[in-house]
Amino acid sequence: MAAASTLNLPSLSSSSSLSHPTPTLQTHISIFSKTLQKSHFPSSLSLPNPHKPISLSSASKSPISDFFPGHDEDDSSDEKLREECGVVGIYGDPEASRLCYLALHALQHRGQEGAGIVAVNENVLQSITGVGLVSEVFNQTKLDQLPGDSAIGHVRYSTAGSSMLKNVQPFVAGYRFGSVGVAHNGNLVNYRSLRAKLEDTGSIFNTSSDTEVVLHLIAISKHRPFLLRIVDACEQLEGAYSMVFITEDKLVAVRDPFGFRPLVMGRRSNGAVVFASETCALDLIEATYEREVFPGEVLVVDKNGIQSLCLMAHPQPKSCIFEHIYFALPNSVVFGRSVYESRRAFGEILATEAPVDCDVVIAVPDSGVVAALGYAAKAGVAFQQGLIRSHYVGRTFIEPSQKIRDFGVKLKLSPVRAVLEGKRVVVVDDSIVRGTTSSKIVRLLKEAGAKEVHMRIASPPIIASCYYGVDTPSSEELISNRMSVEEIREFIGSDSLAFLPFGSLEKLLGNDSSKFCYACFSGNYPVEPRELKVKRVGDFVDDGLNGSLESIDGGWVQANVNQSLDNNLTVEKVGGL
């Protein structure tokens, strides 16, 4: 299922405007004129002369579990935290849309519910979006409809209802000075208040995605240069956003001041510039990784080269630690660190700080494999495949009429009796969310003959929801928020249980430890949710429902906010889908 997707923004007066936090746009105009002479970023950053043509010189799965509908009590899909999406942008390559297609394949683990590409040809933005996997949305015929040397793409994950086509990105909109496409990874915590102000000025919304808010803010900006319109819009955003924009002649990449979600830049040998959520996408299309897009940075690529602008004075970066624990592929470099090396080190720490006499080390595939390898190597015990994951389970399945215990887990994971029977087994997983799947896995292993099952978790206990672009349950549903480690061990039925100690995680990260966000482990939020209700990630409102945001109930969780806040404030956790 594929179709063109366009958002029609209402005609807005240039006098329509929202209040802006400081610094002002005038400050940014001044900064921009001096950007290339006096960088706001590390001195090692070398930017080309904006008045010369772009250089053509070469610079050089922790897979998400298969998605199941949440109707069956044996369903285990809700046991994994979910990344919302992945983005990619390419400028200066005649095969831009096809390279975008390949890059989205590499980012498929970040979202499996929808995909889209917008390409520019003869100053016209052409869009194809669809529900399903990248390979299901696009084929040769579809890609033939997307000629041009610049393109952006998006893969989407949602959690509630059907994946409605109108919510699949990239979004494309026309405004008085042209057209713009955007793909967004993240979540805006002030979405509801921004949307309310925009609706007061006459804006009409086609989706419940906070990404559409960004397009409206760009459209009503009183500044003429597109770059300053983006700055104008981003000054009003709070929360997490890594975005790529495309216009008739520009590709723009933006990252929020805290740098919650990843975004990297690379080049192909022909000089084409590539932005992507992870370096694994660069590897697939033979683009050499150059650097991250810095927190609070706007990078503009056009015929004059690359221009860098400091979006706003940014605080200490707070990058999502779960990119290293679970979301990113092991072959990616995220936030300047190898994901593989991080996960292997997590396993080594567990073997050192939570050792146990065992005969074999296994992993919950695929996300626990690298940490299990680290544990086994440090403990001097053989690593073996005690659980085999089926890679052929679709996103729906037919359950037999006679109830089969742990059906959902058994459909995905098959125990190997030859590895397990009579053995003391250490099983390594990346996290425990609600605990129901862990209990089923322990039971599965013991039914296959394991003498003892010792669970080791390659992350600290998750006690709080995330508001920055990760689908997490409410805090009350998180088992580590309700139970001690010993109580969790009893609940899942393992012979022992240990989590990665938080202090050891900080020690491993060394001088970089303060640059990561640990809100899910501590409940301390770099950007506090200022409003009382948070909507579960996913375009819930638009998935087959019509009405105002206030009139549609369901999918809401309480935010962990100061009780003194105005009770009328609410925020919808929909972000970047």
User: Strands 424-429 and 360-363, how do they pair?
Assistant: parallel
How far apart, in whole angstroms, are the C-alpha atoms of residue 427 and residue 456? Answer: 6
CA-CA-CA-CA torsion for 544, 549, 552, 557, nearest 10 degrees? 110
CB-based contact 100:90 (threshold 8 Å): yes
How far apart, in whole angstroms, are the C-alpha atoms of residue 332 and residue 278? Answer: 6
**561-to-25, 84, 194, 463, 517 alpha-carbon distances in Å:** 31, 23, 19, 15, 17
DSSP bridge partners of 251: 246, 301
CA 361 centroid distance within chain? 30
> Is the dihedral angle over the CA atoms 256, 259, 260, 263 positive or is it negative?
positive
How far apart, in whole angstroms, are the C-alpha atoms of residue 118 and residue 88? Answer: 11
CB-based contact 277:185 (threshold 8 Å): yes
SS3 (DSSP) at 524: coil
Radius of gyration of the chain (CA): 24
What's the number of CA atoms in the CB half-sphere (13 Å) around residue 439? 16
Query: Cβ of 533: how many Cβ atoms within 10 Å?
Result: 16
Q: Which residue, among 321, 183, 304, has the nearest Cα to 254 in the 3D structure?
A: 183
> Is the dihedral angle over the CA atoms 258, 262, 263, 264 positive or is it negative?
positive
Q: Which residue, among 31, 56, 515, 89, has the nearest Cα to 308 in the 3D structure?
A: 31
Sole residue written with tokens 């250490």? 426
CA 296 centroid distance within chain? 18
Q: Count Cβ atoms within 10 A of the Cβ of residue 21 and give its class: 0-12 exposed, 13-18 middle, 19 or more buried.
A: exposed
> Is the dihedral angle over the CA atoms 385, 386, 390, 396 positive or is it negative?
negative
Q: Which residue, among 469, 88, 140, has the nearest Cα to 287 in the 3D structure?
A: 88
Residue 100 bears catalytic tag:
no
What's the number of CA atoms in the CB half-sphere (13 Å) around residue 453? 30
The single-letter code of the amino acid at 405 is: R
Sole residue written with tokens 């981003």? 234
User: Strands 319-320 and 516-517, how do they pair?
Assistant: parallel
How far apart, in whole angstroms, are the C-alpha atoms of residue 106 and residue 365? Answer: 19
Phi-psi region of 248 (alpha: psi -120 to 50; beta: other; left: phi over 0): alpha
How far apart, in whole angstroms, are the C-alpha atoms of residue 419 and residue 229? Answer: 60
Residues assigned a catalytic role: 85
